[in-house]
Structure 1
Amino acid sequence: MANIIVETAETPSIDNLDGKIRLILAGEQLFAKNGINGASMREIATKAGQGNHAAVQYHFGSREGLVRAIFDYRMDQMETARGAMLDNAQTHGRLKDARTILEIILLPQLDLQDADGNHSYASFLSQYLLQSRSPEFGDFSGSEPPNLTRALHLMRERIDYLPPFVAQRRLISVSLMFLNILMRHHGTDESAFGETFSEALEDTMEQIVEGMCMPLRLASAPSENL
């Protein structure tokens, strides 16, 4: 399969956005840097240029409300790309192809750069996934954008031989693999890695497909010595 073509688009300067969006993006950056529980609401309001230090509570109610708003904002940004990818997959009869479905789920995140050109959403999402305890497949934030929901449904059908909790564990694992390669290579000298980002991403996607779809192999419990 040909190497993935990587294109990215930066988020506009935070100064040119309305107050609520500035809070969302400031929260994303500070959560990415300091951890979801490591940034104060006051710090986020200050970074967003809000004189009212209670602005986060006013707009989102709580830290959890802001986290949900970050997911909703970014997932909405990825919906158009996912819709186009789903249409293309349907046209070419690839809606049951695991690689195609996983690309629809994962690749739109490549375009999500913050105002500084960094992948703060990738770091934010990694931290969120590491804390996730839900056994329900595709349950990350409670958000259910239609195109992502459809892609996740297609993936679940593709791996219907796995128990739901195993499918969810694998989905989180492969998502972390993808996010790791995104953060690890961003802003670095490619010569230091011995490969381009596109080459590393292509290899990672192949690993992701294998890891997501391999049959469940559980070792038999050892028999007790009599």
Structure 2
Amino acid sequence: MDATPTTAAPPASRGSATRNELKRAARRLFAERGIAAVGMREVVETAGQRNAAAVHYHFGSKDDLLRELLIDGAELIDAGRRALFDELEARGQPTLTEVVRAMVLPNIELRGPTGEHETYFRFIVNVQNERRALFRDTVPEHSEGFRRFVAHVHRLLAPLPAATINQRILFASLALQTLIAAREASLDRLGSGDHHFWSRADALAGLLDAVEAILVGAGGHAGTAG
């Protein structure tokens, strides 16, 4: 980009870039070391900023920064799920396999301006472990995309009792989060985005099958249409 004064970025743009650098650095530190172990001065230094008060200036408190990082990824994932469910529902009642794909793929395809795909799932695992109340109060328990997933699963697994279906949804969600976090860590260690196992098509197929199998249960069967 031309470096002359006439084309230099305005202060607001430079501020936005600084915020993004701080968020990317903070999420990585929180993902790799946990929440309590990371201080805000370390975030500033890792982001290459000289102002020790940069986090406070851009975000407020550490909790405010955590909330923004949580919301960033959650909104990206939910937007992806809504788009996939819109497409499926426009064609009719989706099958369980299609519903599971709409639930899972936005996690696999997560992208964002601060490298969310690099560290987001390990970050949220640590927030849930260390700051459960903050996580619960920040991320809606049932976002629109997740609500649509739940509604379809209940439709497809009827006439099983609702409590049984909800239990399976919980187990499937926890398993998915663990699997995605493991995948994320493996890809991140390489840095190339190409992993001998997780980059293979059959690994994704197996992950989708595993989530669906938890929902269906042993010896179970889900309808292919509503």
C-alpha separation in 2, matches of 1:27 and 1:205 = 31
The residue aligned with 2:203 is 200
Tell me the TM-score normalized by structure 2: 0.66
Secondary structure of 1:112 counterpart? coil
Deviation at 1:84, TM superposition (A): 2.0
Residue 7 of structure 2 aligns with which residue?
A: none
Unpaired stretches in structure 2, ≥5 consecutive residues? 1-13, 219-226
SS of the counterpart of 2:164? coil
Residues 202 and 209 of structure 1: CA distance in aligned 2, closer, same or farther (over 3 Å): same
Contact preservation (8 Å) 1:23, 1:45: yes
Question: Which one of the candidate residues 98, 101, 113 is aligned to 1:100?
Answer: 98
Stretches of structure 1 lacking an aligned partner (at least 5 in a row): 1-14, 216-226
RMSD: 3.7
Shift of 1:41: 0.9
Give the corresponding residue for 1:50: 49
Task: Classify 1:107/1:37 alpha carbon distance in 2 versus 1 (closer, same or farther; 3 Å).
Answer: farther
Report if aligned partners of 2:172, 2:211 keep a CA contact under 8 Å in 1. Answer: no
- The DSSP-based 3-state class of the residue aligned with 1:51 is coil
1:150 to 147, 150, 164: 147
Matched, 1:37 2:36: yes
Listed as ranges, the matches of 1:122-161 within 5 Å are 122-131=121-130, 141-143=138-140, 147-154=144-151, 157-158=154-155, 160-161=162-163
- The question of whether the paired residues in 2 share the 8 Å contact of 1:104 and 1:151 is answered with no
Alignment TM-score, normalising by the size of structure 1? 0.66
* Cα gap change, 1:190 to 1:61, in 2 (>3 Å): closer
AA partner of residue 178 (structure 1): I
The AA in structure 2 aligned to 1:200 is A
Please give the per-residue CA displacement for 1:2-61, whole angstroms capped at 9, x wherever unaligned.
xxxxxxxxxxxxx99523232222211111222222221111122233333233234333
Question: After the TM superposition, which of the residue ranges 202-211 and 161-170 deviates more from structure 2?
Answer: 161-170
Instruction: Tell me which residue corresponds to 1:12.
Output: none
Mark the CA change 1:213 to 1:130 in structure 2 (over 3 Å): closer, same or farther.
Answer: farther
The aligned runs of 1:1-226 (5 Å cut-off) are: 17-95=16-94, 97-112=95-110, 119-131=118-130, 141-143=138-140, 147-154=144-151, 157-158=154-155, 160-162=162-164, 167-184=169-186, 187=190, 190-191=195-196, 193=197, 197-214=200-217
Question: Following superposition, which runs of at least 4 residues in structure 1 exceed 6 angstroms of deviation?
Answer: 114-118
Distance 2:185 2:130 in 1: 18
Count, aligned residues: 195
Q: Which amino acid in 1 is paired with 2:180?
A: F
